Structure 1
Amino acid sequence: MNRTALRAGWARGGIELRQSFTNGGDLFNHFFWPVLMLVVLYFLRDVSFGDSGFELGTLVLPGILGMNAAMAMVSMSQLLTAEREDGTLLRAKATPHGMPAYLIGKIISVAGGVIVDLAIFLVPALFLIPGLTVGDLGSWLTLGWVLLLGLVATLPIGAVLGSVFSSARSQGLLTLPILAMIGTSGIFYPITSMPEWVQWIAQVFPIYWLGLGMRSALLPDDAVTVELGESWRHLETVGVLTAWAVVGLVLAPIVLRRMARRESGSTVAARREKAMQRVG
């Protein structure tokens, strides 16, 4: 990938990110999930988890951060599918270095939006939930590398999934499995309380490891007693997230190029005509 594509991608991603803060619908999306999760935390703040001595809200907060980071793959998939339908992808294909620049721009804009969403959630949550290790520089460094590695692991996979679906209406087929993974990944309740077979399945996917990494950053050391093996497993977190990142970064350019080759003015026009017929 040459410098021209990198510069174009950075510029495109920055423009899209800025535009998302001037659009009413995008602003609503930026605030909806953070506010909803704050409401969930409010009701969990005084609920104790067994005999651990920790409130459930304290254990859940870092997991919510990991969940929202992982959900970036859904946002990436939805955006790519929508822009495939409206011809944006076709226009990117027609410009020099257009596809690499398009992918870089989408990663930057989606990742930037996720970071803003997490900040909207985390800042008030720090005042709502006690017992977090937010005064330690090491905690913030851990939070940073887990978040960055998690986004690299999930966003390219989202691009691959967006290439698979032919229309935005079929995205529900993706959302339901993602919600199932969230429900079994220890986000809202520690995974040690779930059946062993569920624990093994959860550890295959990045959502669990994102949540674990966030908990290792924000929770005190004695909170590790509610984790599998009573360990934060940083090496395993790096290994699994890196594996997903490699798979996504290898597959995404290949899948996008193949999808772009099938795109033409006639296919975009045909999709628009079908959409108009359904509306009519």
Structure 2
Amino acid sequence: MNATVLRAGWTRGTIELRQSFTNGADLVSHLLWPVLMLVALWFLRDREFGDSGLALGTLALPSILGMNIAMGMLSMSQHLTADREDGTLLRARAVPDGMRGYLVGKVVSVGGGLLADLAILMIPGLLIIDGLRPGGAGSWLTLGWVLVLGLVATLPAGAALGSLFSGARGQGLVQLLVLGVISISGVFYPITSLPGWVQGVAQVFPVYWLGLGTRSALLPDTAAAVEIDGSWRHLETVGVLGLWAVAGLVVAPLVLRRMARRESGSSVAERRERALQRVR
């Protein structure tokens, strides 16, 4: 991938990101989820988990930050499906290196939006939730590598899902799968309270490891007692997220190229006609 493609993708991505914060509907979507999560954290702030001495809100806030990054899979998939429906992907394919520039642009816009949502949730969350320790340089360094590795692990996976599933029905299935994984990943309640086989399934996916990584960055070391094996397992976090990143970076371009080859003006027109018939 040459510098021209990266520059074009960066320009496209920053324009889309800026538009998402100047468009009313997009701005509401950026604010709604963090606000809902802050309300949930407010009600969990005084409820303790067992005899650990830790409030559920304290445990949940870092987990939700990790979950937000994992939601990049869903955002990327939805963007790809929408652009496939309206012909944006077909237009991108028509120019040299257009698909590569398009993918870089989507990574920039979706990743930038996720980081902005993260700040919207994190800054007030640190003020209303007690027991967090985000002050040391080591905490911020850990949070940084977890978030970067998490984005690399999830955004290509989302691109692959968006290429495999088209239309509203396909996106409904993707949402169901992602929400199902989130529900068993210890986001709102420690995973050690779940059955052993559920813990094993959750550890296959990046959502749990993103939550574990952000908890290790923002919680005191004593909080590791409620985790599996009583430790933060940084090496395992790097390993699992790294495997997802490598798999996504290998598979996503192949699936995208295959999908792009099948796109044509007639297929876009056919999908548009079906959409109009549903409206009628």
Query: In 2, Cα distance between the equivalents of 1:231 and 1:152?
Result: 24
Which position in structure 2 is the counterpart of 1:71? 71
The Cα offsets for residues 68-100 of structure 1, whole Å up to 9 and x where unpaired, read as 110111000000001000000000000111001
Runs of 4+ in 1 over 2 A off after TM superposition: none
Q: CA deviation at 1:58?
A: 0.3
User: How far apart are residue 135 of structure 1 and its match?
Assistant: 1.3
CA distance in 2, matches of 1:259, 1:133: 46
CA shift, 1:210, in A, is 0.1
Instruction: Provide the rounded CA distance (Å) in 1 between the counterparts of 2:103 and 2:124.
Output: 33
Q: Does 1:102 align with 2:98?
A: no
Aligned to 1:29: 29
How far does residue 222 in structure 1 lie from its aligned partner after superposition? 0.5
Per the alignment, residue 258 of structure 2 pairs with 258
Name the structure 2 match of 1:134: 134
Is 2:188 aligned against 1:188? yes
**Cα deviation, residue 141, structure 1:** 1.0
What is the Cα deviation at residue 191 of structure 1? 0.5
> Which deviations, in whole Å up to 9, do the C-alpha atoms of 1:217-269 show, x marking residues without a partner?
00001000000001100000000001000000001111111100000111101
Matches within 5 A, 1:62-211: 62-211=62-211
Q: Which amino acid aligns with 1:157?
A: A
**What is the one-letter code of the residue matched to 2:2?**
N
Instruction: Give the superposition deviation at 1:180.
Output: 1.1
TM normalised by structure 1 equals 0.99
Distance between the aligned counterparts of 1:199 and 1:14, measured in 2?
38
Q: Distance in 2 between matches of 1:169 and 1:275?
A: 13
> For residue 225 of structure 2, what is the aligned residue in structure 1?
225
Amino acid at match of 1:259: M
How far the C-alpha of 1:170 sits from its partner, in A, is 2.5
- Residues 160-201 of structure 1: CA deviation (Å, up to 9, x unaligned): 000011213431111111111111001010011110000000
Q: In structure 1, how many angstroms separate the alpha carbons of the residues matched to 2:41 and 2:278?
A: 41
1:2 is displaced (CA, Å) by 1.6
Give me the whole-angstrom Cα distance separating, in 1, the residues matched to 2:277 and 2:55.
53
Aligned equivalents of 2:228 and 2:146: distance in 1? 18
Q: TM-score, length-normalised on structure 2?
A: 0.99
Q: Name 2:19's counterpart in structure 1.
A: 19
Q: Which moved more, 1:128-137 or 1:147-156?
A: 128-137
User: Does the 8 Å contact 1:56/1:189 carry over to 2?
Assistant: yes
CA distance in 2, matches of 1:206, 1:170: 21
Work out the CA distance in 2 between the residues paired with 1:182 and 1:46.
23
Q: Distance in 2 between the 1:64 and 1:159 partners?
A: 22
Which letter maps to 1:66?
A: G
How many angstroms apart in 2 are the aligned matches of 1:201 and 1:154?
17
1:279 to 2:279 alignment: yes
CA RMSD, Structure 1 to Structure 2 (Å)? 0.7
Q: In the alignment, is the contact (CA less than 8 A) between 1:4 and 1:97 conserved in 2?
A: no
How many residue pairs align between the two structures?
A: 280
3-state DSSP of counterpart to 1:22: coil
Q: CA deviation at 1:7?
A: 1.1
Partners of 1:275 and 1:129 in 2: CA distance: 46
The worse-fitting range, judged by mean Cα deviation, of 167-176 and 66-75 is 167-176
**Structure 1: any 5+ residue segments left out of the alignment?**
none
CA distance in 2, matches of 1:264, 1:139: 49
